[in-house]
Structure 1
Amino acid sequence: MKLNKLTTSASALAVGLSVLASSAFAETVLRIQSVLPAKADEVFMLEEFGRDVEALTGGSVKMEILPAGSVVGVRETLDAVDSGLIDGGFAWTHYWSGKHPAAMLFGSPVAGAGVGIDNIAFLSWFQYGGGKELYDRLWDEMGVNVKGFMLQPVGPEALGWFKEPIETMADFRKYRFRTPPGIPGQTYKDIGVASVAMGGGDILPALEKGTIDAAEWCCPKPDSVFGFQKVLKHYYLQGLHQVVVNADLYLNGDVYEGLTDGEKKAIEVAANASLSKSMSYRIYENGKALKDLTENHGVILHDTPADYFTEYMAAAKAALETNSAENEFFAEVWQSQKDFAAIAVPFWAGAQTSNAQLGKAFADSLE
């Protein structure tokens, strides 16, 4: 009798432990829709981030990455996350400038926020200069049920691709030019450029059809993946419209709150790792891609006309000042960036000068 009771107790304990184990290792699959096609370089890095999250959670959180348009259109991505139609989205936060102008200051602070912040200095502001606290407030300012994670800083982005060389802004203004949405694109319109906003996957077909006849997207590697070199051969690296640009993950707020504290921490840690890994990946990959474009695809590299910088910077500062005057939260975020820049940029810009000159001399020696 005692043996039977012991056996019964042991069986009950085993069942209980099994239930606890299955509960402890319950698997959550987050469906994340990107605003890009599956072949995009950014999606490659997003998938690597997902693998890091899976490893850090012991497999309890997995991410299923869906290409653009799988569930909703690109422009509906954030709304779909907000409503819970999808668990998460992946895009650039300046895409949502229509919901709140301050989105630009996190996704693509035009002309380095007008104060010389590059992609590395931006991370310093974001992680240690008060930027993350403001970023976490952005979603409430927008009125969306979202938890955001910054993943992929890039910059500076190339000015773009043209059919013929441009020597002045007068030449530039002859082209219908694909630009990013929001203030960076509007700033081009302010200086007389025929700016046309569209998603990355639409650019090459638009170039082939003649809907546009010049374009920017990002940098040599992502640009070459989209195949712009098939249509255009004149490439300009130096641009101001996106000195800094960040691609982010957006999780539905209820989905995020349903995760354990350990799972939330794993996503945070993987996101911080992604900030560094994406910059490291891009430097080498862009270098390889630029070499391939110029050596094997007939692409000609040019310096950007000098009058572009004066015209675009003046228009960018005017746009920043206008939005700051009209929106209190925008003004708060921009002031934070300016306060940070007053301390950090003199050091960082000065420290980079010697290395930039050395690097340029080495690059010239290769020619």
Structure 2
Amino acid sequence: MQRLIAGILVAAVVHGYVGAAEAPVSSQFKPGAWKLQRGSSNEVLVLGTAHLSQLPKTFDPANLSLLMDRLASWQPKAIAIEALSGPQCAFMRAYPERYADTVKTYCWDTAPAASATGLDVPAATAQVDRLLAAWPSAPSAAQRRKLASLFLAAGERASATVQWLRLSAEERHAGDGLNDQLVEILEKLRSKRNEDYLIAAQLAARCGHERVYPMDDHTSDFDVADEKAYGAAIMKAWDNSYSAARKRQDDALRADLATPAGVLAMYRAHNAAGAAEQVLHADFGAALEEPSPQHFGRTYVGAWETRNLRMASNIREAMSARPGGRMLVIVGASHKGYLEAYLDQMQDARIISTDAILRAE
């Protein structure tokens, strides 16, 4: 296989040189303009969301029902979430000097699952892959409990929750790799105020999926020598009329979440055509131009763009395993415009607008 790939790459390079001799290389080359002509392209629906943990405490998750119905009607075949994978967290734990804070903030403690299963993240991840490769069409409850325990050991708590939700209530108990502590964790995750669980895991179970796909990336995280000055510079950049308008809009939307229609209206606003431009003017565009001699804003934007590029590559990789599928990406609203722009450069990816799905009644 390696020889075949090497031969293809050599042929591509040679072909490129021939083409270059025949015609000048265009500075406007856009790979995304060359889309799949035969068969069904991969479809990507990027749903920008508020982080549910930051909504008012009065927010009732039951009011997500209308949004969930709309998303289910699109019939996604896979769901990607803004979470770090178990393998990336394992990688970061090997570099505590750079990533200690990132691990503390974004990575789950897999020790309880490792104790119950006897597996570390790499071993559990390998077992998950082997199980899913031979997964039956009608798995037993014991098989689902086993897979849930492996997902927990692999650092994939949202996917473990999918398996837990696919069990009937009477089958949600210890056994087959799950001890009482892991059962308690899964029960808490079912109602955790986080879109990975209240939207993605619930929707995945409803649509008959076996897992969700963590696609976030924090390998571009960095330490700043002067955190106080850095923070002050970014906050000053954010002090602009676009940020003020965005805050007023968010405050108004969050004051009207008492009904499913109000929640759907919030999602329409976060995914509206002009929302990405508003984010750019309020946040990253403003930061790019901030005047500090240390170029704090440019460093901030560089890390943000790198993160989104790596997120896009993770989404693209997940799509590659099942060509012609439908991928729903659930991500913080500020990421939506960036991910759509980056993914639209892919030759086998077609961006689907959220407009029809989120339309008003």
Q: TM-score range by the shorter chain?
A: under 0.3
TM-score, length-normalised on structure 1? 0.24
- Structure of larger gyration radius: 1
TM score, norm. by length of structure 2: 0.24
